[in-house]
């Protein structure tokens, strides 16, 4: 006959000790360069967002619909397997996203790591950051702005594979006829972000904000 064990919740002192040990572990791991990627998941009005960073900067923002475990697997393959969940990391990114969703921030100021993108896609994705808050451009306009007016389809692909949505605002890019086009987080989320920035935006679905 097997014995049953009862699990008791940790006391506040035990939680504090565990938090301190985890902090020390993270500090030592960073000092010894044992971590290639730190990540955390933050709540937002559009669902949980996975934030991941390298020593160079923010490398990925992922929606729940992408599957956070799948994204971590991709990062392990493309960046490195030494990944650590650290709820104390990425404070600047989490704070700026919170300010963005509250309407208090219009432009992000974060170090970025675009190693997941090809040279052309990096060029497009950085151009996205120049589209003003509350404004939109067409894929064709973005292609013109980077000096490659015939690369409209390639611009669309660069937007669709943008590793840093919201921070590099691919949601501000529409089709020439004003329709939404595509979006990694889904067209409902794209509409919500556009209406957050400009309540008079007339396309897409109703906003949650």
Q: Which of 170, 173, 193, 196 is catalytic?
A: 170
Query: Taking the CA atoms of the chain, what radius of gyration do you get in angstroms?
Result: 20
Is residue 170 flagged as an active site residue?
A: yes
Nearest to 56 by CA among 97, 107, 115, 109: 115
Q: What is the widest separation between alpha-carbon atoms in the chain?
A: 76
Left if phi > 0, otherwise alpha if psi is -120 to 50, otherwise beta: which for 10? beta
Q: Residue 122 contacts by C-beta under 8 Å, 6 or more apart in sequence?
A: 114
List the catalytic residues: 170
């Amino acid at each position: 006959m097997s014995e049953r064990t009862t699990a008791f919740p940790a006391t506040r002192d035990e939680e504090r000790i565990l938090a301190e040990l985890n902090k020390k572990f993270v500090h030592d791991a960073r000092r010894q360069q044992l971590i290639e990627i730190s990540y955390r998941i933050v709540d937002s009005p559009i669902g949980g967002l996975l934030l991941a960073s390298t020593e160079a900067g923010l490398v990925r923002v992922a929606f729940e619909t992408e599957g956070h475990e799948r994204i971590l697997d991709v990062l392990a393959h493309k960046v490195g397997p030494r990944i650590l969940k650290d709820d104390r990391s990425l404070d600047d990114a989490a704070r700026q996203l919170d300010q963005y969703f509250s309407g208090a921030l219009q432009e992000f100021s974060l170090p970025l790591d675009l190693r997941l993108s090809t040279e052309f896609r990096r060029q497009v994705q950085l151009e996205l950051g120049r589209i003003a808050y509350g404004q939109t451009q067409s894929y064709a306009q973005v292609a013109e702005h980077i000096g490659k007016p015939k690369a409209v389809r390639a611009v669309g692909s660069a937007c669709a594979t943008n590793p840093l949505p919201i921070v590099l605002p691919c949601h501000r890019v529409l089709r020439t006829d004003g329709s939404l086009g595509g979006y990694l987080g889904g067209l409902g989320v794209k509409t919500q972000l556009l209406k957050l920035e400009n309540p008079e935006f007339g396309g897409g679905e109703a906003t949650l904000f």
